[in-house]
A and B are shown apart, each in its own frame.
Chain A
């Protein structure tokens, strides 16, 4: 993944954060601000600052820094909000947005706007809470600006007795008198002279340019003030007032609580001869347009709605298809109908694929974080590791990508810690010093297969078994390798000789497994002692569509998630054993599996009750296997998963629902839920009625 992708991610995130910020600012009730909203605005600024700092967008970083400081005061209640302050905040947000756009187009952001907003925000801090913000010094792009007021404002503490020249532009005599009086409050006025067009006051005292401006702004416009240190008194070009650079855009209402003392119109008229560009920065339109049209941000809800609708379309299409094929011979003559149907089918499938691909993002987004993880972990452990990633472009549903990252990180850390040996050990057994860790992703059928492969020590079957016995787990020596390796997913199980800060506490692997199962996937481990370990995660491509096995019990159709189905067989009478009470187990190749008769658990009428006449489907749920008795297997099909809880409630033994080709609803069964239900039913002597069932809902992890 190249750095430009990270930029894009940052830009998109920052844009979203700015949009949030704006919304919160607009909703903010200035009289009674909601602290949650203030916090949200603060957090947004903080996040943008962090990102901007990382990518070296210094102007944006500094702007957000000042803004963030001010917001910090606001959320602590030290700064009382007013409508005009919120206006300024909004303007700051706009400027940050412009800066963001500039960076996106690989341009330098507008320096004047930046300085202006920093100045304004500093001023608010000074006026409202009487302190300066610990702002980073405003960079001076030209030598002339070194003496500017803003540079001084940044270091007010260094100010001591010195001479300041305050020039008042276009101020009437009445206001002049007033202003001079004001200035006398601040320091010793040495001299004052001039005419209406330019009236100069020399001032000594421990006072910053900001203070002066703040005081005078009650009477005149900020553009009418020029402040400079006396040393450059004769050099008019040097006396640059920061406000002067872009007078038109200055938020006049911020510094103008009263307009009675305000002089008449010509206020902003003059500065044309010194201000370089009074307009707001013109956006570089063509480049920006190109960057924006490359992608659009759409809410996931909207995409899901489209996916749902397309699902409906597919169902309608298969209904039509069925009707047409039911017509049989009658429709043979009508070739245009048949052609139309096959065309519709193809188009509908293409449409479904295209829509599903909207939610798909490449695994690269997950893999890209691992070089860093591997580097840091390897460094900590003193190991030498080479990371290889394969199949970065393999696409996976967005929600799964987000959820796979943590389990995968855990597996990688585990491989680094327990799998790959120390360089010296490796050399001793004739392996290269540098260990190899491979992360790969690829499609396999309707699933995605993610592998974490290392060429380390592999798993020690005997040690795993010994450890399992130590932990009181029920194991035997003739368990298959696969079963032995699955032991590491048992809660609290760790074979690490000592606990490191990377792994070894025995928490985590069970969480990894649970997370992956929660996504409808499974974990498999292949390992050879001395040669390495391969952890394979098999995930469905998406959560919205499920590969199902449809089964029939009585007249009812149910769906079993295909990922849980291992095999199906016809149970022989000799293989069924009754156990204490009602329990029945089925012997399948030396293994006794609890039998769940679906017709009993779900009260299905007219079902086959003789087990030897029904079909046993061997299923696996949460690591345990069960034999489910069903009447008939109908076949495999992809189904659109529909939530039952939207309009109804959680149903024990059922995970969701779907709509079949004929438009009817079929329930998707939840294996472990069914097992719990069957046990509770037997306990309650088959007298279970609904209120008791709330017990399962509490028992089930939500």
Chain B
């Protein structure tokens, strides 16, 4: 009886846990809600779009769908932006759109309990804390939890027509 109770308590706690996909940009570790992720693929065959901001690398063909590719390393002003075998594109689904984001690498999937998610401090000029859902602390690691919805639909990303009715 008491065991069954324990099970219920545990699953209730588990329901509050969230899973994150952890990726690296330079030395830093970031994470996004795994439910937003559609797939992960290599960086290849990107067609440049003229007159777009530099962090928009262009568009690519994802099985017949034209998908814009955003390089978060350029957006976050990282020092070295290289495209190599480790460079991957995380394809995410936000606001009924499909967008690919370029990162230095994907490390793992983490489950964070509500206690492990700390509120994000006010900081950052390049990455406003509006776009963060918090900081995840894992023993000696710190994950920057990015609110990918807000970030990609924000005006400064220039991914969405600001005048569009979508």
Contact = CB atoms under 8 A, between A and B. Distances in A.
Interface stretch (B7-15, B57-65, B77-85, B104-112): B57-65
A117 interface: no
A697 B163 contact: yes
Given A603-B50, A667-B47, A649 B67 contact: no
B66 A653 contact: no
B103 to A, nearest CB: 19
Contacts of B63: 312
B97 A647 contact: yes
Contacts of A601: 50
Contact of A648 (B51, B61, B64, B68): B68
A644 interface: yes
A649 B161 contact: yes
B148 interface: no
A648 B50 contact: no
Contacts of A693: 51
A642 B158 CA distance: 20
Given A648-B59, A690-B158, A697-B163, A556 B66 contact: no
B164 A664 contact: no
Contacts of B161: 645, 649-650, 697
Interface string B123-166: 00000000000000000000000000000000000111111100
B52 A690 contact: yes
A602 B51 CA distance: 7
Contacts of A694: 162-163
Nearest to A693: B51
A546 to B, nearest CB: 15
B99 interface: yes
Contacts of A666: 47
A506 to B, nearest CB: 32
A160 interface: no
Nearest to B62: A647
Nearest to A654: B49
A556 B59 contact: no
B50 A604 contact: yes
Interface in A678-702: 688-691, 693-694, 697-698
B48 interface: yes
B45 to A, nearest CB: 5
Contacts of A646: 65-66, 97
Contact of A602 (B50, B68, B163): B50
A556 B60 CA distance: 14
B49 A651 contact: yes
A698 B63 CA distance: 32
B39 to A, nearest CB: 14
Interface residues of A, number: 40
A669 to B, nearest CB: 10
Given A647-B99, A697-B163, A698-B163, A308 B50 contact: no
Given A647-B99, A664-B61, A698-B163, A677 B51 contact: yes
A694 B155 CA distance: 12
Interface centre among A309, A650, A652, A664 (most CB of B within 10 A): A664
A657 interface: yes
B51 A603 contact: yes
B50 A690 contact: no
A512 to B, nearest CB: 28
A647 B66 contact: yes
B98 interface: yes
A694 B58 CA distance: 18
B59 A649 contact: no
Given A312-B64, A664-B61, A649 B47 contact: no
Interface string B98-122: 1100000000000000000000000
Nearest to B67: A647
Interface of B is mostly: loop
A604 B51 CA distance: 10
A643 interface: yes
A601 B64 CA distance: 27
B105 to A, nearest CB: 24
Interface in A632-670: 642-654, 657, 659, 662-667
B25 to A, nearest CB: 22
Contacts of B52: 651, 690
A504 B160 CA distance: 44
A664 B66 contact: no
B151 to A, nearest CB: 16
Contacts of B164: 645, 649
A690 B157 CA distance: 11
A652 B51 contact: yes
A25 B60 CA distance: 45
A693 B97 CA distance: 22
A654 to B, nearest CB: 8
B68 A690 contact: no
Contacts of A571: none
A561 interface: no
Given A644-B59, A646-B97, A556 B47 contact: yes
A648 B58 CA distance: 10
B65 A647 contact: yes
A593 to B, nearest CB: 22
Given A604-B50, A664-B61, A665-B60, A648 B45 contact: no
Nearest to B51: A693
A188 to B, nearest CB: 68
A659 B61 contact: yes
B45 A664 contact: yes
A521 interface: no
Interface string A134-165: 00000000000000000000000000000000
Contacts of A603: 50-51
Given A308-B64, A663-B45, A688 B159 contact: no
Nearest to B161: A649
B83 to A, nearest CB: 16
Contacts of A647: 65-68, 97-99
A663 B61 contact: yes
Contacts of A667: 47, 49
A643 B66 CA distance: 8
Interface centre among B53, B61, B65 (most CB of A within 10 A): B61
A556 B163 contact: no
Interface string B7-28: 0000000000000000000000
Interface of A: 308-309, 311-312, 315, 556, 601-604, 642-654, 657, 659, 662-667, 677, 688-691, 693-694, 697-698
14 contacts: A309-B64, A644-B59, A645-B161, A646-B97, A648-B159, A649-B159, A651-B51, A653-B51, A657-B59, A659-B61, A663-B61, A667-B47, A689-B51, A690-B158
Q: Which 5 A-B pairs have the closest CB atoms?
A: A602-B50, A665-B47, A648-B68, A312-B64, A649-B161
Given A646-B65, A646-B97, 12 more contacts: A312-B64, A642-B65, A644-B59, A649-B159, A652-B51, A659-B64, A665-B45, A665-B60, A665-B61, A665-B66, A691-B158, A693-B51
